[in-house]
């Protein structure tokens, strides 16, 4: 499995398994655990969750049942908007307990809440100092949010997870992150899951350019998009539930896209978000409860 090295020397598998809304939003049962176990059997070792997903316990059960040594896994979770500030350290501890782990490999600020960022980040720095987490990162942070953080951060963020797909390439932000040695990760890399209510025909996987490339290479449209990310040294965390999709998303090493192919995908950008906009998401996020 290909890894990237974060600026602090920690290695992260380039292909991760996204766990948001496996089954349904905040579902936490044997179906979620079994889905994650399928991914582990295929070879995934990087798992992305969050307190607000409500399924940290399901991931923890899968880790326990898999028998895979802890050091072979890369586990990511996130602090939700309502947990930021003075509550951050407690939120982290609850995530650890739900996962049944002694440390996380990466802990993220799920969405920017500028009024809380300093207190949140300083609490995360203390967790990093105490070796409770191996790397600190961000999710959905814009350039201005990163600049605010940089004005006081003692530990630099190693990672920024963004909504990024062929219809939302965020090229300027990606270049900014990469210049500052912040690894870029893509959530909903295929253009949002079934939970979003977006019709499959409206997603990048149905775009004629992507479909033509998939036919040309004898792979799926999803594999084309994921390969486009990997070749640009980005991290991908696709979610899948069917075994065939779990396997396909992990089987990306038998072909390479040409420079022309890459440019044709880049040209699909529409600045179109399927998910929340960091400028406004906090208003609705603060109404969403993190399950106990």
Catalytic hit among 44, 53, 107, 159: 53
Which H/E stretch holds residue 136? strand 136-139
Instruction: Identify whether the C-beta of residue 231 lies closer than 8 Å to the C-beta of residue 206.
Output: no
Decide if 53 is catalytic: yes
Q: How far is it, in rounded angstroms, from Cα 58 to Cα 55?
A: 5
Residue closest to 136 by CA, chosen among 279, 289, 12, 277:
12
Strand partners, 4: 12
Instruction: Identify whether the C-beta of residue 242 lies closer than 8 Å to the C-beta of residue 35.
Output: no
Instruction: Identify whether the C-beta of residue 17 lies closer than 8 Å to the C-beta of residue 43.
Output: no
Q: How far is it, in rounded angstroms, from Cα 98 to Cα 251?
A: 31
Query: Which residues are catalytically annotated?
Result: 53
């Amino acid at each position: 499995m290909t890894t990237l090295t974060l600026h602090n020397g920690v290695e992260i598998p380039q292909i991760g398994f996204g766990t948001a809304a496996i089954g349904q939003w905040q579902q936490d049962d044997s179906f979620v655990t079994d889905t994650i176990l399928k991914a582990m059997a295929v070879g995934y070792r990087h798992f992305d969750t969050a307190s607000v997903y409500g399924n940290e316990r399901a991931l923890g059960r899968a880790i326990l049942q898999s028998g895979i040594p802890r050091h072979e896994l890369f586990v990511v979770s996130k602090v939700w908007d309502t947990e930021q500030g003075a509550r951050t350290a407690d939120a982290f501890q609850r995530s650890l307990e739900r996962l049944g782990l002694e440390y996380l490999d990466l802990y993220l600020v799920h969405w920017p809440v500028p009024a809380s960022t300093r207190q949140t980040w300083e609490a995360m720095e203390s967790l990093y100092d105490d070796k409770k987490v191996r790397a600190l990162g961000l999710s959905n942070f814009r350039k201005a949010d990163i600049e605010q953080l940089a004005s006081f951060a003692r530990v630099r963020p190693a990672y920024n997870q963004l909504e990024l797909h062929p219809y939302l390439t965020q090229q300027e932000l990606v270049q900014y992150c990469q210049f500052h040695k912040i690894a870029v990760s893509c959530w909903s890399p295929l253009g949002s899951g079934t939970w979003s209510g977006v019709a499959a025909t409206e997603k990048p996987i149905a775009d004629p350019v992507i479909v033509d490339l998939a036919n040309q290479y004898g792979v799926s449209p999803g594999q084309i998009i994921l390969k486009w990310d990997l070749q640009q040294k980005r991290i991908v965390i696709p979610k899948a539930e069917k075994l065939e999709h779990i396997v396909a998303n992990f089987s990306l090493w038998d072909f390479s896209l040409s420079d022309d192919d890459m440019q044709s995908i880049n040209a699909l950008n529409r600045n179109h978000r399927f998910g929340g906009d960091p400028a406004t998401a906090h208003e609705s996020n603060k109404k969403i409860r993190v399950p106990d």
